Amino acid sequence: MTLLVNEIFYSIQGEGPNIGKPAIFIRLTGCNFRCSWCDTEYAFHEGTDMTEEQIVGECLKYPCKYVVLSGGEPLIQPVKQLIEQLWINGFKIDVETNGSIYKHLPWVETIVLSPKPPSSGMKTDLEPLRKFTEELSGPFKVFKVVVSNEEDFEYAVALHQKFPNTPFIFQLESKKEVDKKQADWLIQKVKMDPRIKRGLVDVRCLIQMQKIVWGVRRGV
């Protein structure tokens, strides 16, 4: 079986629960969303057909055993066999998804669920998120919600309240560059808002490290 692959590259994980870890990124082509501030629009259509064996072989070229499966939206493609082959070859695997498509994902270490806030222009279906957090045993699950304004923050808090036992990341929206003033605003909100369960569950405020170091570039 082949998958449509946008790019494979080796870098540092710049966001999410494993920020700072060296990682091999497998970016698959295609997405069922069209977020207004998407920074990977090139992944909507560009790609090369590769077999699972070819993808694993490419990953084996790098001095790393941690893989991030991303997109686009990786779960619109049949990824289960690829994940199994990566696991057989000793890789630890994270999946980054918008959470709109539920799939049973054995062999995965972490599932990063990133439902999209109002500023994206997209809608949220809570049922797949419930299945990921309540029915899927094994992988560590964490929410990562992009925040660009007050409405997005309220959306993120409401989601945090609906899933109070799932670790949660408030991530500043930064399609072009990190705005320090906006970053300070979000940090203060996450620090002080009484609805956020700081200390009772893992709650974090993060910015995209790769944007600080390299700006908006592919392959980093």
Residue 219 resides in a domain: no
Residue 148 resides in a domain: yes
Residue 210 resides in a domain: yes
Domain count, the chain: 1
Closest of 50, 55, 47 to residue 85, by C-alpha: 55
The CATH number for 90's domain is 3.20.20.70
Closest of 24, 81, 90 to residue 58, by C-alpha: 24
Angle, helices 52-59/80-88, rounded to nearest 10 degrees: 40
pLDDT for position 121 = 97
Residue 205 resides in a domain: yes
Residue 67 resides in a domain: yes
Q: How far is CA 145 from the centre of its chain?
A: 9
State the distance between the two ends of the chain, measured CA to CA, in whole angstroms.
Answer: 28
Below-70 pLDDT ranges, the chain:
175-178, 211-217, 219-220
pLDDT for position 219 = 64
pLDDT for position 7 = 98
Residues 202, 208: Cα–Cα separation, whole Å: 18
Residue 186 resides in a domain: yes
pLDDT for position 180 = 84
Residue 101 resides in a domain: yes
Residues 148, 153: Cα–Cα separation, whole Å: 8
Range of the domain at 130: 2-214
The reported pTM is 0.93
Residue 220 resides in a domain: no
pLDDT for position 175 = 61
Dump pLDDT digits (tens) for 63-84.
Answer: 999 999 999 999 999 999 999 9
Residues 91, 37: Cα–Cα separation, whole Å: 31
